[in-house]
Structure 1
Amino acid sequence: MTEVELRHLRTMAAIAEEGTFGRAAVRLGYTQSSVSQQVAALEKAVGGAVFDRPGGPKPVRITALGEVVLTHGRELLAKAEALGDAVDRFRAGGGRIDIGTFQAATNLILPGVVRRLLDEHPGCDIRLSDVDPADPGADRRDLLFHYDRIAGDVEHIELLEEPYLLVAAAGTFPAGPVPVKRLDETPLVAWPPTPHQKRLERALAEGGARPRIVFRTGGHEAVLSMVRAGIGSAVMPALALHRSDVWSDERLTVHPLRPSPATTWYLYWPAGRDRSPLVTRAVDIAVETARDLMTQMHRRAQRRP
């Protein structure tokens, strides 16, 4: 059997439902001769007649072979219609998107991305997963938020550059920026030696400071609690303080560091892969949200006495 075309099956179904070639032609917007040609092509493809043609105005009758062809043909037409609908939804942003993320991006950027995608495309399928820093898997996801450079066949944009800030008990340091060298042998509360924390401590060492780590604990609030308790200061990413009450806490002061260590947030996607409308929209929202975050952070820092 040679290849059967969907348009031939569609014409056959219309004839079976309308009863005559003429009415099927009107329904489909074809000429009657075009309908006859398509049926002839279908019969050639399947190797036999699919309709008995009594002639004149009498309705055509479907043959036994035609019943087999029509039964399976309708299934193919339904699948083709479903495929067309799926492609249309995909082009309109109704597909699936897999996003890898890390904690800070999850807290500060991802909620806005997810909320706006669902508002704009209620049928989209958003799948989120936490990133393993040792194996971020940028090639396995449509998008990946990460705070480090990734080698391999990926493309990226820089979302923002996040400075580190010094948080100390009030009166520990003079107001204003603090030189990194001033932190040499200074008691600090710090995170456990995660890859992120190790990079920070290397940056401090390159700036001439090897602080005395008096306590390591996970979680930004736990670190701040220990600073409030008075056992040491802390060097923290600026956006970790974005929604914190540290800015209004009279027991604490926040200082820029000079030179300022910083970490860059990136958004990755596999190189060479066509980005769907949903992925493209997610990138646009992430860039906009990151820009707004940085604006808010700078304004807050300027208002700090």
Structure 2
Amino acid sequence: MDGSIKKRDLLANVEIRHLVALETVVETGSFVQAGVALGYSQSAISQQIAALEHAAGLRLLVRPGGRKPVTATDAGERLLRHARRASAAMRAAEADLHALAAGDAGTVRVGTFQSVGVRLLPGAMRRYVERWPDVEVRLLEAGYDEELLTLLERGDIDIAFVRENRDPTFEQVAVLSDPYVLLAPADSELARDGGAVRPREIARLPLIGYRRSTEGAEAILRSQGLDPEVVFRSDEGGTVQGLVGAGIGYAVVPLLAVETSSEVVILTVADMPPRRIAIAWHVDRPPTSAARAFVQIVTELGAEIESGYAHGVSVDSSRRRRQT
């Protein structure tokens, strides 16, 4: 149980620096490393934590001594949740002021994920540079939506590609409805047959899946009561497609992520909802005119790509499946 200090109603007098110190000590496990990260001495960090514990009226950290990391008590964990929200709010406020000062020039910081970078992002960047040559676009790639949404919430990025969601913290504009396809080795029976493949057939194949079983088509299959066999996991699109071409297995991926290859056939997947991609920003931090222009270009290009999807999958003279 947490050791109790004398309780007083003093949390209203706590400063952001005290909360940031708590957050950093827990993240680094060390008063010394927290001081290095924040530019303070160890004694200054200790004083800030002591002031915070005095205000809270409870012990917030366990200090085991030696090389063991400093950890949060139960009370510390509870206060840490509020500390993280407060520090994120201050980062967002700083981002607001920078965006206001930048106006139509400056920098647009865009969060993205790997498959967007294959076909959508390069075209969007070319158009944006032509129309807004004075604006610098900084790209930051993350593996999963929650990482990108956290960066948005903290104000570390201005806009981000994400899957459509209903989180009221963010506003979003639809970009693209991206169908799932099955990648099959070119010499496989499925590739020769060339027909649409259904979830039950897919679940019987040796699959190459994402590192997280809760992501992508595997999660959809499991939600339908199917138990797919996953023989390898990777979040690297080139690795997945290369292994399919080598005959290691099959992969269900969004069409946007696919690059044409003579070793891989792209097959239509029936009865599987598409991945819906949006571009989002924080409700409290409206995009600048430069960021809005980026959003407009992305939605234009997304509509063009989706229009091409309407033609479906066709067969060329070499029996290789491709998107037309």
TM bin, normalised by shorter chain, reads 0.5 to 0.7
Residue in 2 that maps onto 1:135: 147
C-alpha spacing 1:87/1:270, structure 2 compared with 1 (3 Å): closer
TM-score w.r.t. structure 1 length? 0.60
- Residues 83-142 of structure 1, C-alpha deviations (whole Å, 9 max, x = no match): xxx99983xx32432211112223333333333333223222323222363332223132
SS in structure 1 opposite 2:307?
helix
SS at match of 2:134: coil
Give the deviation of 1:224 after TM superposition: 2.4
Aligned residue in 1 for 2:254? 237
> Equivalent residues in 2 for 1:174-193 (5 A)?
174-193=193-212
Map residues 259-274 of structure 1 onto 2, 5 A cutoff. Answer: 259-274=271-286
The equivalent of 1:121 in structure 2 is 132
Q: Does the 8 A contact of 1:138 with 1:269 survive in 2?
A: yes
Q: Residues 185 and 292 of structure 1: is their aligned pair in 2 closer, same or farther, counting only changes over 3 Å?
A: same
1:146-165 paired onto structure 2 within 5 Å: 146-147=162-163, 149=165, 151-165=167-181
Paired residue for 2:184? 168
Q: For residues 269 and 179 of structure 1, do their structure 2 counterparts lie closer, same or farther at Cα, with a shift above 3 Å needed? A: same
Matched with 1:145 is 161
Task: Give the whole-Å Cα distance in 1 for the aligned partners of 2:269 and 2:213.
Answer: 21
Separation in 2, partners of 1:292, 1:240: 16
Structure 1 contact 184–208 (Cα < 8 Å) conserved: no
Q: How does 1:26-45 map to 2 (within 5 A)?
A: none
1:281 has 2:298 as partner: no
Deviations 1:42-72 (A, max 9, x none): xxxxxxxxxxxxxxxxxxxxxxxxxxxxxxx
CA shift digits 1:227-283 (9 cap, x unpaired): 233232221211111x322xxx2x543221221242111100122544322122111
Larger Cα Rg: Structure 1 or Structure 2? 1
Q: Is the 8 A contact 1:181 1:208 kept in 2?
A: no
The match for 1:102 is 113
Give the Å deviation of 1:182: 1.4
Are the aligned partners of 2:112 and 2:141 in contact in 1 as well (CA < 8 Å)?
yes
| Percent identity of equivalent pairs | 24
Further displaced range: 292-301 or 101-110 = 292-301
SS in 2 for 1:260: coil
* Partner SS state of residue 111, structure 1: helix
SS, match of residue 165 in structure 1: strand
Task: List runs of 5+ in structure 1 lacking aligned partners.
Answer: 1-85
Contact 1:161/1:262 (<8 A) preserved = yes
Q: Number of aligned pairs?
A: 211
In the TM superposition, 1:177-216 aligns within 5 A as 177-193=196-212, 196=215, 199-216=216-233
Determine if contact 1:181/1:207 at 8 Å carries over to the other structure: no
**Quick check: 1:94–1:122 contact (8 Å CA) kept in 2?**
no
Match of 1:3 in 2: none
Q: CA RMSD in A?
A: 2.9
Distance 1:159 1:124, change over 3 A: same
Point out 4+ residue stretches in structure 1 off by more than 4 angstroms: 86-89
Q: Secondary structure at the match of 2:207?
A: strand
- Contact kept, 8 Å, 2:268 with 2:313, in 1: the verdict is no
* TM-score where L is the length of structure 2: 0.57
